[in-house]
Amino acid sequence: MASPKSVYRFNSAIVREPSRSVVDGLRAGGHAGPTYEGVKAEHDGYIEAMREAGVGVTVLPPLEAFPDSIFVEDPALVFTEGAILLRPGAASRIGEAAAIAPVLRNMFDTVLDLPGHGYVDGGDVLTTPNSVMIGLSARTDRAGAEALAGLIEKLGRKAKLVATPEGVLHFKTDCSLLDEETVLSTARLASTGVFEDFKQIIIPNGEEPAANALRVNDVLMVPSDHPRTLEMLDKLDYRIVPMKTAEIGRIDAGLSCLSLRWYRDDQ
């Protein structure tokens, strides 16, 4: 059985089907948005990859009122020990936590609510073996991060506040955990020294979106449009599963934000 504090051993996940309104999802810059059909195809492939990796996936229905609600990782955090309802930092996403709350209360004995008036997006939270790193960003402010740190400690884990580089949407936009002692990171994030206690694998210049990979049990899901990163990780003997992310990338998203993942002891 996996340790309750395992950082990439999962047997349970929650995803949410994309809504037709996903084409209106938040995005930086003036680039074109995705198509619903394109997002749906990538999401279907993601669910299949999760199940093939040994994870039981609960699929929630779409929420048309919330274009970004496919990104279930932002309004909540889940651990073996319990779940935490967050307060997303974008005004259009505030109601997403309330929408997913009944599901989490049905699945977890312990569900905590973020106190105070601060904001936290789950995309700014990286769980490592020694701590849960909370990245301060445009979507996660200090008040929210400090409140979340208190809840994480209530669940028996250690929290650590860190900085997200200027202009980077989420902390995990620029990094992911490959195993208990190794992180995949962009050069700009690694240069801050935040990962000094880890072995660091640096993303090739120009392929920064590949930093948001996702380790699930024995496989490593990696965005498929970044050949140098795929080759680099393959040579390091990770079991790579290339994932199409071009459409979700148009709404500033990556692999980690598409699911809530945890190890459920009673499975």
pLDDT digits (tens, 9 = 90+) for 62-121: 999 999 999 999 999 999 999 999 999 999 999 999 999 999 999 999 999 999 999 999
pLDDT tens string 143-182:
999 999 999 999 999 999 999 999 999 999 999 999 999 9
- Domain count of the fold of the chain: 1
Catalytic residue among 43, 175, 226, 257: 257
In-domain check, residue 5: no
In-domain check, residue 223: no
Q: What are phi and psi of 181, to 5 degrees?
A: -130, 5
Q: Which has the closest alpha carbon to 72: 4, 15, 140?
A: 15
In-domain check, residue 196: no
Q: Are 85 and 114 in contact (CB under 8 A)?
A: yes
Catalytic residue among 43, 170, 175, 226: 170
Q: What's the pLDDT band for 2 if we cut at 50, 70, 90?
A: very low
In-domain check, residue 240: no
Mean pLDDT of 226-231: 98
- The CATH number for 27's domain is 3.75.10.10
Structural domain containing residue 135: 12-167+245-262
**pLDDT confidence of residue 186:** 98
Own/partner contacts of 100-104, CB < 8 Å, gap of 24 or more, are 100/14, 100/16, 100/60, 100/72, 100/75, 100/76, 103/14, 103/58, 103/60, 104/76, 104/78
In-domain check, residue 144: yes
Mean pLDDT of 37-63: 98
Active site residue 257: yes
Residue percentage of the chain with pLDDT more than 70: 97
Q: What's the pLDDT band for 267 if we cut at 50, 70, 90?
A: low
Q: What's the pLDDT band for 32 if we cut at 50, 70, 90?
A: confident
In-domain check, residue 222: no
**pLDDT confidence of residue 266:** 77
**pLDDT confidence of residue 28:** 83
In-domain check, residue 212: no
Active site residue 170: yes
In-domain check, residue 129: yes
**pTM of the full predicted structure?**
0.96
pLDDT tens string 193-217:
999 999 999 999 999 999 999 999 9
What is the distance between the alpha carbons of residues 54 and 56, in angstroms, rounded to a whole number?
7
